[in-house]
Amino acid sequence: MSKDRQGGVKAAGRTLDLFEIFARHPEPLSLSELAKLMGTPVSSTHALVKTLRARGFVYVLEDRKLLYPTRRMQVLTNQIAKNESAVELLAPILQRLQEDSDETIILGKRQDEMIVYLDVLECQRPIRYAPQPGERKPLHSSAIGKAMLSLGTDDDIRQAVSIVGQPGVTANTLTELDVLLADIQEGRERGIFITRGENVADVMGIAMVFRLGGGPVGIAIGGPMPRMIEKEQLCRDLLAAARRDIDAMCPPSNDLRRVA
């Protein structure tokens, strides 16, 4: 089984590359154009497209031999989203947080030594933090990542950080372990975890952590630093209210329970 440079199955990676390319290029593409954008031989791209056509995921504009995805992927992903009961359970709370804070709300979970964003509710301000669901962020430089790290001991944090290192994502990233440990301890004491331009320059994040479906999940409010500094207390209060709402909706005896 052929694997790509990130250790995944090469065919699966190329399939995802294809759909991501069409998401960025809102027009049909020829086989050679698609192969160039994917960085793969035309023959390999043709074999992939042939398989996707047979499964109904891609169609050909016969007059110009251009390729474009059908809506089959959209139908499947919409259904998958509807079936994601844990995320759907939090949807009203996330929506209320977004409206009351007027900033971007992120739902994230730890996957190995990274944070993956499960859901994102953007605010509509012209200047805003605009991540995408599925983005992966380092543990040490993201607010949700710090919240997840806080669930372990200091030795657990040292081990997690040692696996991937503690690189400077921005000029403000906490790259010294002792400084990160002190920051996380401060977060434990106040019940929320903050990044100040540590993951994205000029973006501040404020996060808390719960258990969802038997595992921890983080909720963060993120936005431009000047606005977030002004509304830091508001965001703390909103997260505290969300915590109470979740506890009332799913008490500790159920799958969703507070852990910080």
171-224 pLDDT, tens digit per residue, is 999 999 999 999 999 999 999 999 999 999 999 999 999 887 668 999 999 999
* 230 and 252, same domain (yes or no): yes
Domain extent for 223: 84-258
Query: How sure is the predictor about 253, in pLDDT bands with cuts at 50, 70 and 90?
Result: very low
User: Domain boundary residue among 56, 74, 92?
Assistant: 74
* 141 and 43, same domain (yes or no): no
Average pLDDT over residues 27-52: 94
The mean pLDDT of the chain is 88
* 89 and 154, same domain (yes or no): yes
Q: What is the CATH number of the domain that holds 69?
A: 1.10.10.10
Token pair in block for residue 56: 């109904």
Percent of the chain with pLDDT over 90: 70
Query: How sure is the predictor about 258, in pLDDT bands with cuts at 50, 70 and 90?
Result: very low
* 26 and 113, same domain (yes or no): no
Q: Is residue 79 part of a domain?
A: no
Average pLDDT over residues 3-8: 50
pLDDT of the residue at 84: 62
In one-letter notation, the amino acid at residue 54 is A
* 22 and 146, same domain (yes or no): no
CB 109 within 8 A of CB 118: yes
Q: Is residue 30 part of a domain?
A: yes
Q: Is residue 4 part of a domain?
A: no
Q: Is residue 2 part of a domain?
A: no
User: Domain boundary residue among 42, 74, 106?
Assistant: 74
Question: Which tens digit of pLDDT belongs to each residue from 143-158?
Answer: 999 999 999 999 999 9
Token pair in block for residue 48: 């992939």
Number of independent structural domains in the chain? 2
Q: Is residue 176 part of a domain?
A: yes
What DSSP string runs through the chain? --B-TTSSBHHHHHHHHHHHHHHHS-S-B-HHHHHHHHTS-HHHHHHHHHHHHHTTSEEEETTTTEEEE-SHHHHHHHHHHHH-HHHHHHHHHHHHHHHHH-SEEEEEEEETTEEEEEEEE----SS-----TT-EEETTTSHHHHHHHTTS-HHHHHHHHHHH----SSTT---SHHHHHHHHHHHHHHT-EEEESSSSTTEEEEEEEEEETTEEEEEEEEEEHHHHHHTHHHHHHHHHHHHHHHHHHS-TTSS-EE--
* 43 and 97, same domain (yes or no): no
Token pair in block for residue 107: 């739902």
Whole-prediction pTM value? 0.74
Q: What is the CATH number of the domain that holds 205?
A: 3.30.450.40
Question: Which tens digit of pLDDT belongs to each residue from 47-76?
Answer: 999 999 999 999 998 767 899 999 898 888
- C-beta atoms surrounding 56 within 10 Å: 11
pLDDT of the residue at 86: 66
pLDDT of the residue at 211: 81
Angstrom distance (rounded) from CA 157 to CA 142: 14
Q: Is residue 41 part of a domain?
A: yes
pLDDT of the residue at 137: 96
* 70 and 127, same domain (yes or no): no
Q: Is residue 1 part of a domain?
A: no
CA angle 252, 212, 181 (to 5 degrees): 95
Question: Which tens digit of pLDDT belongs to each residue from 13-24?
Answer: 899 999 999 999
* 70 and 99, same domain (yes or no): no
